[in-house]
Structure 1
Amino acid sequence: MKIEIPADATEAKGAVRVNPQEDQYLLSFVTSTTQAKATADLLHAEDPLSSTHKGTASGEVFKHLGLPAPESLNPVQWTGVCPPCVSDASRSAFQWIEIYVEPLPSEKARVYLQAF
C-alpha cells in the first residue's frame, strides 16, 4: 500500500490474503487521532473521512487479524480511493484502498486499511 506506519503507532498488524482473482492487503495500527487523519489524507481520496458510508471491507478479512469488522464499528469514519483515478503513481499497483478510522480514548484512533 506504500503506507508508512507512524513512529508512534502501536498494535501494528498486517496480512496479505491471497486470492485467485486479486490479493487483498490488510494493515491496522493504533496512533494519535491527528496522525490517523494525516494517513487518510495521504491517500488523496476525493472525499474526506465520513461516517455516512461504511465501505466494503469484509469482517472475515479483519477477523484474521483478531480485529472486529470495521464497518460494524460505531462510530467509525471511512473513505476510499482509486489510486489510478487520482493519479497516485506511488500506489498504482492497487485498484482500490479503503481506510477506516475508529476513535479511541485519549486522542487515539485505530486505523484499518484494506487494498486490492
Structure 2
Amino acid sequence: MESPLFESLWAMQVNFLAADINDLGLDQFLEEHRAYGIGYGLFAVAYFVAAMSIARVAPNPKVRRLTAAGVMVVSTALAFLFPSEWMFAALVIFALVYYLWPRKEGVSI
C-alpha cells in the first residue's frame, strides 16, 4: 500500500517557510536566510521525487501521482496566500487526516 507520508510532511512544513517569508519579505528572507531557503527547496524536490517514486507501485499510479502533486501544490499555495497560525493549524489537520485516511485498493483521494 502506498503511503502519503511525503506530501503530508510537506503540507505541514511549508507553513514555516511561508511565515518567515511573510514576516521578512522575499528579498530580505533570501538575503538573510539563503541557506534556509535552499534547504527548503531541496526538501520540496526530495519530497516530490519520493512521493512520485512511491506512487509508481500504487495500483493506479497516474491518479496517485496527480493526487500527491495536487496536495503539495495546494498546501503550498494556501500557506503562502494565508500565512497565519490558523492556516498552519488547518494544514496540519488536513495533512494528518490525509495521511491517516484509509485508502481502498486502486483508489486514491
Fold shared by both chains (TM-score > 0.5): no
Q: Going by fraction, where is helix more abundant, 1 or 2?
A: 2
**TM-score of the two chains, using structure 1 as the length reference:** 0.24
Q: Going by fraction, where is strand more abundant, 1 or 2?
A: 1
Larger relative contact order, structure 1 or 2 (CA cutoff 8 Å, min sep 6): 2
From the CA coordinates, give the structure whose radius of gyration is larger.
2
